[in-house]
Amino acid sequence: MSTPQGTIATVVLDDVDITDLALEGSTTRRLNRPSQATIKVPMQELASRYGTMIPDAGSYLKVYYDAHASTMPQLFHHGRVMQREVTADQNNGYVVFNSQDPMELWQWRPVRDPDGDFSDPDIVAFNQFAPQILHAALTASENPLLIPSLAEGPLRLRINSVAGGVIDMTGAPTDWPMTIMELFSLLVSTGELDAVVTPIEFDASDNYGQLDVFNGNFGNDLHSTVKFQYGMGNFNVQALRWNRDMTNMVNKLWYFLGPKCDQQHWRANVQGDDPGLTYPPGGKSVGPCDTGSVTNNQIGVETCHARTHFDVRMLIKIWDAVGDNTDCTESVVVGHELYRRLWQCEQWLSAQPLELVHITPTRDTEILSFDIGDLVLVEAVGDVVGGFSGVQRVYEYTISWDADSVPALGELQVSSDNEGF
């Protein structure tokens, strides 16, 4: 690949620089999900460069970007190759490598207690805040004293920082055993957890990512300087997709918490009249619709209006912590705090039609000026069904290039929905 002016990419596969072979490639940063990268190289040239040691699934891919043509490019992706695909015809052959960062391992690791137990761990009951719960799960999984029978070993992440936590998340998740990724996704859904992997060069422990854990508030407010505007202003959005979707809308949400006592009764429940619903966005999910007569009841107002305008749409979820057919006289405690917070976030987000905005910036839009989690301004001219304007959070973005072009931003996924908290 030629060296263009402005932003350039460098590609290293198993410690061999193959930038000149990379016909095309892309990197995708994703908030609270594994980031990924892909490159395409000619088959014969690859074999010539590596000889008998051709990279395979399990190899390591690094992609660097340099926005200023300096001598110190920024490591943007470092991950294991999860898939190698070879395609060939009578004229040409190509190899595509797909890579993910170390967070991909979380789906293969059971949540364990410090002593190694995964059948009924209680790390959620004994760790009050979401960041500490995640930290405990990660630490137990790679505990060197318990390998191989009661721990799985290194997660290839150097833990840099863990936030102190704000909202009580104690509780008893359902259906143990579960994976670290399943528990992580549950905690992220409460709005009280973000985990960010930053690629690093291999350290002394063979880690290739650095992990920072936040209280659901990762990112910087850049809306005054980073603006994506379609048909107006900077004119730096070449395409957009704007979805308002009510197919999964719920305005009457009930949680039943196990263990089940008998056929008709559960240990506990979370509904709109739960007296423990004290967190923002706050309030009980019962009327009236008049905001002037109720304080701190945004959820109640949202759901009341939703029922009026879109009919009642009820969803019942069962979180069975221990199992069915459990006598309620037994001293089994089901923690409520995690579920109360989860209920509030789910009801708040689902009470109105879901709004998602995907934008594709113009090719000359500057990259590396923002990251996942950051707040940016996204606007569209009034011709776009009345238009929109708002400060929105970046959840995912892609940088791509080919042999004849410099790296440029692809589609961004941004949404204002989670900014109501």
Q: What is the pLDDT of residue 6?
A: 46
d(CA 22, CA 9): 10
- The answer for residues whose C-beta is within 8 angstroms of residue 107's C-beta and 6 or more apart is 179, 180, 181
The pLDDT of residue 327: 59
More confident residue, 279 or 125: 125
The mean predicted confidence, pLDDT, of the chain is 86
The rounded percent of the chain whose pLDDT value lies above 70 is: 86
Please state the rounded mean pLDDT for residues 339-368: 85
pLDDT for position 68 = 57
| 260-282: average pLDDT | 73
Q: Is 380's pLDDT higher than 50? A: yes
CATH number of this structure's domain 8-100, picked from the four choices 2.30.300.10, 3.40.630.10, 3.40.50.300, 3.10.100.10:
2.30.300.10
Residue 280 has a pLDDT of: 54
**Minimal CA–CA distance to 39: which of 4, 91, 85?**
85
* pLDDT value, residue 341: 86
Neighbouring residues of 256: CB distance < 8 A, sequence distance ≥ 6: 266, 268, 269, 316, 317, 318, 319
- Digit-coded pLDDT (tens) for 231-263: 999 999 999 998 889 999 999 999 988 777 777
Predicted TM-score (pTM) of the model is 0.87
For range 387-408, the mean pLDDT: 86
pLDDT band for 173, please (50, 70, 90 cuts). low
Residue boundaries of the structural domains of the chain: 8-100, 105-214, 227-246+354-420, 252-350
What gap in Å lies between CA 327 and CA 410, rounded to an integer? 56
